[in-house]
Amino acid sequence: MLNDRVTPTLEDVSKRAGVSTATVSRCLNAPDRVADATRERVMKAVADLGYTPNFAARVMAAKRTNTIGAIVPTMENAIFARGIQAFQEELYRAGYTLLVASAGYRLEMEETQIRTMVARGADALLLIGHERSDAIYDYLATQRVPAVIAWSYDPDRPQVSVGFDNRQAMREIAEAVLRLGHRRLGVISGLKAGNDRVRLRLEGIAEAASGFGLDAATIRVVEKDYGIESGASAFDELVATLPAPTAIICVNDVLAAGALRRAQARGYDVPAEMSITGFDDLDYATIVTPALTTVHVPHREMGERAARELVAMVESAVPGRSIRLETAVTMRGSLAAPRD
């Protein structure tokens, strides 16, 4: 018994107030069902004793935790931070607590985390992207734990999603690149395994290329995990094989920032000799020089809407509706027409 707390219990309070534990419980959970005088007495006892309800006991008895879990691929870089922050603020407003776990972009790890969260009594879950096993979706269904998928939007899937169309968003920025005249493209991608957002974005690039009469299969794609350094080394790989691309499209701003810095370190003039684009519109995009042309994603709005949707699903047991958010190509200095 490592944790033998010295916390007063409901019973201590009830004795001190001279009532039953049921009355104390009601004072705490449904104050209007208790006579004013009694309530005052009880509340005084609560205050005197510094009583805090035992969470586990409450969960066991009430089968509700007022807790919502979020499982993100990573907390290390800023990709999910802003959205999750907004998510948590909105949950807090609605009286819920957020539990965050990160799965390191690994599906089995995510599955473990989902099961852990459910076992911990999460009333609902926020998940990133659609890709995961049917087994785990079935599990959530049988457990009756509502879930919302964020950072992705797909009305054709049975799951409720609050996000944007990754493919279309990426196609739009790729088209912007192509429209300027670029024909030799390089792509820096995150790891595709277990990450449908990345795959959809790559498809978006391929679609744009086809639309401009390019054979998408000839576009060189370098796949790396996320990180500044990965973007930098991916850049080196892309320019190693000739003819080098005139524009490099990155699936997010972190990779783009790394590629940009490496390009400059290698003496490339960005954007005159080399254009680079990002995705997400994180802080990274605006602090680099030149600032990144990127896809703006409404992270905060996504977090807030997902929270509201999830709370509604928990509280009214309605099915929940998918919500599509708009992204926007944001033109900044890192993209220009090719020189030649």
Please, what is the minimum distance in Å from the beta carbon of residue 20 to DNA? 4
97 binds DNA (CB under 7 A): no
For residue 29, the partner it binds in a copy of itself, DNA, none, with Cβ less than 5 to 8 A by kind, is DNA
Q: Which residues are CB-contacts of 164 (< 8 A; sequence separation ≥ 6)? A: 151, 152, 153, 297, 298, 302, 324, 325, 326, 327
**Listed ranges 35-43, 140-148, 161-169, 325-333: which one lies at the site for a copy of itself (CB under 8 A):** 140-148
> For residues 21 and 85, which CB has a smaller minimum distance to DNA in the complex?
21
For residue 20, the partner it binds in DNA, a copy of itself, none, with Cβ less than 5 to 8 A by kind, is DNA
Structure tokens given for 194? 């277990």
| Other Cβ atoms within 10 Å of 57 Cβ, number | 11
For residue 176, the partner it binds in a copy of itself, DNA, none, with Cβ less than 5 to 8 A by kind, is none
Among 3, 50, 61, 158, binds DNA (CB under 7 A): 61
29 binds DNA (CB under 7 A): yes
101 binds a copy of itself (CB under 8 A): yes
Q: In whole angstroms, what is the distance from residue 307 CA to residue 326 CA?
A: 18
Please, what is the minimum distance in Å from the beta carbon of residue 133 to DNA? 23
The whole-angstrom distance between residue 291's C-alpha and the CA centroid of its chain comes to: 24
133 binds a copy of itself (CB under 8 A): no
- Length of the chain, in residues: 340
**Listed ranges 48-56, 133-141, 162-170, 327-335: which one lies at the site for DNA (CB under 7 A):** 48-56
Contact 312, 284 (CB under 8 A): no
Structure tokens given for 45? 């006892």
List, as one string, the DSSP characters of 107-131: HHHHHHHHHHHHHTT-SEEEEESS-
| Other Cβ atoms within 10 Å of 179 Cβ, number | 11
Q: If DSSP states are collapsed to H, E and C, what string results for 77-88?
A: CCCCHHHHHHHH
- Of 220, 203, 208, the residue nearest 180 (C-alpha): 208
Please, what is the minimum distance in Å from the beta carbon of residue 116 to DNA? 14
User: Which residues of this chain interact with a copy of itself, rule CB under 8 A?
Assistant: 1-7, 50, 52-57, 59-60, 63-65, 74-78, 81-82, 84-85, 88, 97-102, 115-116, 118-121, 123, 139, 142-145, 228, 254, 257-258, 260-261, 264, 283-284, 286-289, 314-315, 317
User: Which residues of this chain interact with DNA, rule CB under 7 A?
Assistant: 1, 5, 7, 9-11, 18-23, 25-26, 28-29, 33-35, 37-39, 51, 53-54, 57-58, 60-62
